[in-house]
A and B are shown apart, each in its own frame.
Chain A
Amino acid sequence: MAASCRLKPLSSVAVSGGTHGNEMSGIYLAKHWLRDPMELRRGSFAVTPFLGNPRAIEKCERYVGQDLNRTFTTELLSSTEAEDEPYEVGRAREINQTYGPKGSAQAFDFMFDLHNTTANMGACLIVDSEESLLPMHMCHYIQTHYKWSPCRIYLYKLPGEETYSIDSVAKAGLALELGPQPQRVVRADLFAQMRALMACALDFIELFNKGTVFPAFEIEAYKITGRMDYPRYPNGEISAMVHPKLQDKDFLPLHPGDPVFQTFSGEEIVYKGDTTIYPAFINEAAYYEKKVAFAKMEKHTFSIPGLQRE
């Protein structure tokens, strides 16, 4: 068995609520922590809370100009300020200045990003890839210590794709995605779950910082392989809905030939792929305009090497 990897302890940690201005669990949590940061303190570090997209939060919209959580590409972050640029481009530069710069030695050690989805994804932990050692260990710790509901791991980076999310500004990051919750609604149950998940994650960092040796393990995770759009009319409008048999079945197997869409005349459209996939983000409100009815995921088991602090 390979020896543990050693990483520096974490000292600069941030959490964004309201990267999307209508995903309410994270917004209410971040506002609470800004008034009273006690919960975010541990012996060896403290977490800095902030509101990701304050203008969108004020309007209770996902974004004002463009999706903030797609704006952290190298190109956009290094672009020069222009008068007519979308608000979120300027905001991304600010965030990059405060918590980055992305890719540099000065960047924050870790960033959490709090989200909700209208999809039935339960408690979902979003990491860029299985190669991100610290986040994978954090997910494993959360899965074994958070008892309220199962947590699934979602690996979001497609091969060759650049990272573009807010947490990619820091050296490592994790997004918490809780659903189903409508936009603009706070459900007490999901709010409590998100709070408890954060507490668990911070417990892990504290243990890591204090020198705990985390042994190697095997872990199941869902890795994105593509996205499926809705069938559409020539004018671009959707011509079918997520099929009732697929609705709410996030992370359950979808086999070739299983129903995926239903037209307004009642016809069934089936999945025409070659292999079984595990769909996620099924019927997410914000993804209609991104032309995504669901994300196609494969289930993998990864071997993750052990970890301890330097």
Chain B
Amino acid sequence: MTSCYVVHEAPVRRVAIFGGTHGNELSGIFLVKHWQENGAEIQRTGLEVRPFITNPRAVKKCTRYIDCDLNRVFDPDNLGRHMIEDIPYEVRRAQEINHIFGPKDSDDAYDLIFDLHNTTSNMGGTLILENSRNNFTIQMFHYIKNALAPECCPVFLIEHPNLKYATARSIAKHPVGVEVGPQPQGVLRADILDKMRKIIKHGLDFVHIFNEGKEFPPCTIEIYKIMEKVDYPRNKNGEITAVIHPSLQDQDWQPLNNGDPIFLTIDGETINYEGDSTVYPTFVNEAAYYEKKQAFVKTVKVKLTAKGIRSSLS
């Protein structure tokens, strides 16, 4: 059956699952290591699924990164930099990864990469979308959300002129970020690992069903679109002078309105949110973002529609 509302997409044959892009986010690391020993769970007929540790040196030291954040250096400048002696470890590694799974923006690049992360924020099982026009990924997220319902599966769109960052997964034609929290750095929680595992299972099921020829009609999902980063209040020495307010702590994805508390100073003074409209904060009190000057990120709720899709080989 052909319909002008259905886009024919190439089947997805080459899939990678990245763990350890940050070496202290343990769920992805242990899942990938387990799947490298026993990959039965991630196999689907008709596709190759390759589990891969992206930052092995950081994983060995159980630290986020060695020289710089691997998940920020997959931009054309860094990927194209010539290999000189004092190149940061993660830039060299990004080039290697681009060679294996890319090259980024070419036809040879992998079709789909799942990049597994944890956060200290109370974000639950969040799916990260890079491109609001990627019908395949939006359809996948719709499928995963339905499969996990009534459990919530927020979708976070990081498309933004300056806030979007060059992720490891962006090498692929269809990049998918999986961010599960709250989990402390360096800790492996069974419940968080299980949540991540279920997301991957449903994601791979979707790919398989899609490849087999099922037509997915147009769909609409509610997503949270990134608007702005908010830093901690700081003094002139750059030191933090207030912490996330108890009313905002753990309230990722909950509405934040003008006048609601956001920070608490050491003297007990409350600092309130000032804004024209309701926003939905996320990455609230993420450990790794203190150095990136990010106390939380403001998002707005948006409805995103994907066209119907069907594999072009069916």
Once A188-B246, A285-B187 are accepted as A-B contacts, the answer to whether A182 and B33 lie under 8 Å apart by CB is: no
By beta carbon, the residue of chain A nearest B30 is A264
Q: Tell me which of A13-21, A96-104, A170-178, A241-249 binds B.
A: A241-249
Q: Mark A269-307, 1 if CB is under 8 A from B, else 0.
A: 000000000000001111011000000000000000000
Are the CB atoms of A32 and B266 closer together than 8 Å?
Answer: yes
Chain A residue contacts of B264, Cβ below 8 A: 188
List residues of A (172-206) whose CB comes within 8 Å of B's CBs.
180-189, 191
By beta carbon, the residue of chain B nearest A181 is B184
Flag whether A11 is at the interface (Cβ < 8 A). Answer: no
Chain B residue contacts of A182, Cβ below 8 A: 120, 182-185, 187, 287
Once bound together, how far apart are the Cα atoms of A180 and B246, in whole Å? 15
Chain B residue contacts of A262, Cβ below 8 A: 190
Q: Which of A28, A32, A184, A241 contacts B185 (CB 8 A)?
A: A184
Are the CB atoms of A188 and B187 closer together than 8 Å?
Answer: no
Chain A residue contacts of B31, Cβ below 8 A: 264
Are the CB atoms of B246 and A288 closer together than 8 Å?
Answer: no
By beta carbon, the residue of chain A nearest B288 is A184
Once A187-B249, A188-B249 are accepted as A-B contacts, the answer to whether A28 and B187 lie under 8 Å apart by CB is: no
Once A183-B186, A187-B285, A188-B249 are accepted as A-B contacts, the answer to whether A237 and B191 lie under 8 Å apart by CB is: no
Are the CB atoms of B287 and A184 closer together than 8 Å?
Answer: yes
Once bound together, how far apart are the Cα atoms of A244 and B285, in whole Å? 24
Q: How far is the CB of A148 from chain B (nearest CB, A)?
A: 12
Are the CB atoms of A188 and B244 closer together than 8 Å?
Answer: yes
Give the bracket for the number of chain B residues in contact with chain A: 20 to 34
Once A182-B185, A188-B246 are accepted as A-B contacts, the answer to whether A244 and B191 lie under 8 Å apart by CB is: yes
Are the CB atoms of B249 and A247 closer together than 8 Å?
Answer: no
Are the CB atoms of A183 and B185 closer together than 8 Å?
Answer: yes
Q: Which of B190, B239, B244, B291 contacts A244 (CB 8 A)?
A: B190
Flag whether A118 is at the interface (Cβ < 8 A). Answer: yes
Count A-B contacts at CB 8 Å.
84
Q: How far is the CB of B142 from chain A (nearest CB, A)?
A: 28
Are the CB atoms of B189 and A288 closer together than 8 Å?
Answer: no
Are the CB atoms of A283 and B187 closer together than 8 Å?
Answer: yes
Chain A residue contacts of B240, Cβ below 8 A: 186
Are the CB atoms of B186 and A288 closer together than 8 Å?
Answer: yes
Once bound together, how far apart are the Cα atoms of A186 and B183, in whole Å? 14
Chain B residue contacts of A284, Cβ below 8 A: 187
Q: Which of A32, A183, A247 contacts B287 (CB 8 A)?
A: A183
Q: How far is the CB of B270 from chain A (nearest CB, A)?
A: 10
List residues of B (116-175) whose CB comes within 8 Å of A's CBs.
120
Q: Which of B184, B188, B243, B290 contacts A191 (CB 8 A)?
A: B243
Are the CB atoms of B246 and A241 closer together than 8 Å?
Answer: no
Flag whether A79 is at the interface (Cβ < 8 A). Answer: no
Once bound together, how far apart are the Cα atoms of A66 and B56, in whole Å? 23
Q: Which of B182, B188, B266, B287 contacts A241 (CB 8 A)?
A: B188
By beta carbon, the residue of chain A nearest B120 is A182
By beta carbon, the residue of chain A nearest B64 is A184
Flag whether B297 is at the interface (Cβ < 8 A). Answer: no
Flag whether A149 is at the interface (Cβ < 8 A). Answer: no
Flag whether A78 is at the interface (Cβ < 8 A). Answer: no
Flag whether B193 is at the interface (Cβ < 8 A). Answer: yes
Q: How far is the CB of B302 from chain A (nearest CB, A)?
A: 29
Once bound together, how far apart are the Cα atoms of A283 and B26, in whole Å? 13
Q: How far is the CB of A268 from chain B (nearest CB, A)?
A: 11
Once bound together, how far apart are the Cα atoms of A247 and B187, in whole Å? 11
Flag whether A265 is at the interface (Cβ < 8 A). Answer: yes
Flag whether B301 is at the interface (Cβ < 8 A). Answer: no
Once bound together, how far apart are the Cα atoms of A118 and B189, in whole Å? 11
Are the CB atoms of A241 and B189 closer together than 8 Å?
Answer: yes
Q: Which of A31, A243, A264, A285 contacts B186 (CB 8 A)?
A: A285
Are the CB atoms of B34 and A264 closer together than 8 Å?
Answer: yes
Q: Mark B59-78, 1 if CB is under 8 A from A, else 0.
A: 00010000000000000000
Are the CB atoms of A185 and B285 closer together than 8 Å?
Answer: yes
Once bound together, how far apart are the Cα atoms of A181 and B191, in whole Å? 17
Are the CB atoms of B33 and A237 closer together than 8 Å?
Answer: yes
Once A188-B249, A191-B243 are accepted as A-B contacts, the answer to whether A118 and B190 lie under 8 Å apart by CB is: no
Are the CB atoms of B190 and A185 closer together than 8 Å?
Answer: no
Once bound together, how far apart are the Cα atoms of A183 and B291, in whole Å? 14
Flag whether B38 is at the interface (Cβ < 8 A). Answer: yes
Chain A residue contacts of B287, Cβ below 8 A: 182-185
Flag whether B245 is at the interface (Cβ < 8 A). Answer: yes
Chain A residue contacts of B186, Cβ below 8 A: 118, 183, 285-286, 288
Q: How far is the CB of B97 from chain A (nearest CB, A)?
A: 23
Once bound together, how far apart are the Cα atoms of A186 and B249, in whole Å? 10
Q: Mark A65-84, 1 if CB is under 8 A from B, else 0.
A: 00000000000000000000
Q: How far is the CB of B311 from chain A (nearest CB, A)?
A: 32
Once bound together, how far apart are the Cα atoms of A185 and B243, in whole Å? 10
By beta carbon, the residue of chain A nearest B189 is A247
Are the CB atoms of B185 and A242 closer together than 8 Å?
Answer: no
Question: Which residue among B62, B190, B243 has the maximum number of chain A CB atoms within 10 Å of its CB?
Answer: B190
Given contacts A118-B186, A186-B285, A264-B30, 4 further A-B contacts (CB under 8 A): A60-B291, A191-B243, A265-B38, A284-B187
What are the 8 tightest A-B residue pairs by CB atom distance, in nearest-first order? A182-B184, A285-B186, A184-B287, A264-B34, A182-B120, A118-B184, A244-B190, A241-B190
Q: Could you give 10 example pairs across A and B, Cβ below 8 Å? A: A118-B184, A181-B184, A182-B120, A187-B249, A188-B249, A241-B30, A241-B189, A243-B190, A262-B190, A264-B31
Interface residues in chain B, defined as those with a beta carbon under 8 Å from any beta carbon in chain A: 30-31, 33-34, 38, 62, 120, 182-191, 193-194, 239-240, 243-246, 249, 264, 266, 285, 287-288, 290-291
